[in-house]
Amino acid sequence: DTSGKTITCRAAIAWKTGSTLAIEEVQVDPPKAREVRIKMISTGICGTDDHAVKGLLSINFPFIPGHEGAGIVESIGEGVSSVKPGDKVLTLAIPQCRECSSCLHPKGNFCEKQDVLPSSGLMLDKTSRFTCKGKKIYHSFRASTFTEYTVVPEIAVAKIDAAAPMDKVSIISCEVPTGYGAAVNSAKVTRGSTCVVFGLGGVGSAIVMGCKASGASRIIGVDINEEKFPRARALGVTDCLNPRNLKKPVQQVVMEMTRVGVDFAFEAIGLSDTMIAAWDSCHRSYGVCLMVGVASSNSQLSLNAPDIISGRTLKGVCLGDYKTRDCIPQLVTDYLQNKINIDPLITHQLPFDQLHKAFELYHAGKTIRCILLF
Ligand code: APR
Ligand code: ZN
């Protein structure tokens, strides 16, 4: 029995900006009050983790990356009531405290207890549960999943169906709600509509699935890596565009293809330029543009001011606007009941100790999602 004791295990540490991750032996403290220690089973590699490791986001080093995780509760701290040891759970990069302004509002999901923007890398009591070689190691995004054991606040844990296949459902912790949810829940893509999706990686692919499931009649996919096109077409993309092979700006091409602009545009890359291209691809009057990608810290967005009044909607969205603890477990159940199929989003599965190979595949643009297995 490990409860109440410090656990020594393997974890990946980003020691400094841009350095390769190092697999180290770390000490993981027991959970304090209203915290949960989780034995990780699988974790996805998300674009946001790569941004974080490269130092593009405001985050404290050294830290343990990863936020898209599935695991089993090992032990709980005092006062934890929503999960117990042995429960299958997902980590949540956006918690749901059920007490703050966002949680109490009917629409908001960006809980005030989140630790993404900005990221302190600490638990709610402003301390860390990780130590390596006598040094304090920071957490990331209320999760830190590139480790055999992690500690997270109870408000950042979703209990899921006991039948969930743990080698796969980690992507329902982030990629699936972020992409699929942005289309079906946040934008509420309408039947027969025209959509454009910038970025056909993990998140973009999940957006395409959501557009397709909502009955969109045309889905334009944009990516600079044409290797992503065949899979995107299989998921529902009807037209593929590589901005590097176009003679005109991509938004102009989308305008010409659709004559009036799209009903729904999604950005799933995290760059100001593609955010503006998505915005300018929308119908001037009723077009809706959703920003899904996480942009680098301090980057700015510059829009033509007079054009704003024509009526377009610009909306940011994280985790599909879902109240995370309330809604994300249902996506797991929907998967078990064959109402959504997440399998096409998983292209690779590798053991945790092949983390470097997984990142190589990711950087080479070969993956939609690579899942690491513990
Ligand atoms: N124009 C078009 N496509 C681009 C460009 C560009 N300038 N730059 C990159 N891409 C494509 C890549 O080729 C890749 O297919 O965007 C895709 C990004 O996908 P992933 O790297 O798989 O990242 P993903 O996990 O999908 O996350 C995408 O959403 O959650 C955020 O922070 C995350 O910003 C990231 C974005
Ligand atoms: Zn809250």
ipTM for this prediction = 0.97
CATH of the domain at 28: 3.90.180.10
> For residue 295, which atom of ligand 1 is closest to its CA?
34
156 and 40 in a common domain: yes
Indicate if 20 and 113 belong to the same structural domain. Answer: yes
Closest CA to ligand 1's atom 18: 201
Does the Cβ of 263 fall within 6 Å of ligand 1?
no
CA atoms within 13 A on the CB side of 252: 5
Same domain, 105 and 212: no
Whether residue 280 is contained in a domain is answered as yes
pLDDT in tens, 318-352: 999 999 999 999 999 999 999 999 999 999 999 99
Three-state SS letters, 279-327: HCCECCCCCEEEECCCCCCCCCCCCCCHHHHHCCEEEECCHHHCCHHHH
Give me the mean pLDDT over the 94-106 stretch: 98
Same domain, residue pair 148 and 206: no
pLDDT in the model for residue 92 = 98
Please indicate, yes or no, whether residues 54 and 157 belong to a single structural domain of this protein: yes
Which of the 8 DSSP states describes residue 262?
Answer: B
Domain harbouring 263, CATH code: 3.40.50.720
- Model confidence pLDDT, tens digit, residues 206-261: 999 999 999 999 999 999 999 999 999 999 999 999 999 999 999 999 999 999 99
User: Exposure string (b/e) for 266-291, b if CB count within 10 Å is 16 or more?
Assistant: bbbbbeeebbbbbbbbbbeeebbbbb
Say whether both 242 and 140 belong to one domain: no
- The string of pLDDT tens digits covering residues 70-90 is 999 999 999 999 999 999 999
Cβ of 44 closer than 6 Å to ligand 1, yes or no, is no
Q: 111-133 pLDDT, tens per residue? A: 999 999 999 999 999 999 999 99
Ligand nearest to the CA of 124: 2
* Number of domains present in the structure of the chain: 2
**Over the chain, what is the mean pLDDT?**
97
Q: Is 269 in the pocket of ligand 1 (CB under 6 A)?
A: yes
Judgement on whether residues 12 and 152 belong to the same structural domain of the protein: yes
Domain shared by 365 and 272, yes or no: no
Residue identifier of the C-alpha nearest atom 29 of ligand 1: 293
CB 70 within 8 A of CB 28: no
- Look up the domain containing 245 and give its range: 178-317
Q: Distance between CA atoms of 300 and 289, rounded to whole angstroms?
A: 17
State mean pLDDT over 19-28: 97
365 lines ligand 1 (CB under 6 A): yes
- Mean pLDDT of all residues in 18-37: 97
Domain end (from 300, 317, 334):
317
Considering only 56-60, 159-163, 167-171, which range has the smallest mean pLDDT?
56-60
Is-contact 220 296, C-beta < 8 A?
Answer: no
Residue 249 Cβ contacting ligand 1 at under 6 Å? no
Question: Do 164 and 210 belong to one domain?
Answer: no
Does residue 200 lie in a domain region? yes
Cα of 118 vs centre of ligand 2, distance in Å, is: 15
In a domain, 334, yes or no: no
Is residue 338 situated within a structural domain? Answer: no
Within-domain flag for 323: no
Residue of 239, 64, 82, 213 whose CA lies nearest to 151? 64
Q: Are 203 and 274 in contact (CB under 8 A)?
A: no
| Minimal-distance CA residue to ligand 1 atom 14 | 201
Q: Is the pLDDT of residue 18 over 90?
A: no
One domain for residues 278 and 359: no
Pick the closest to residue 51 from 361, 276, 297 (CA basis). 297
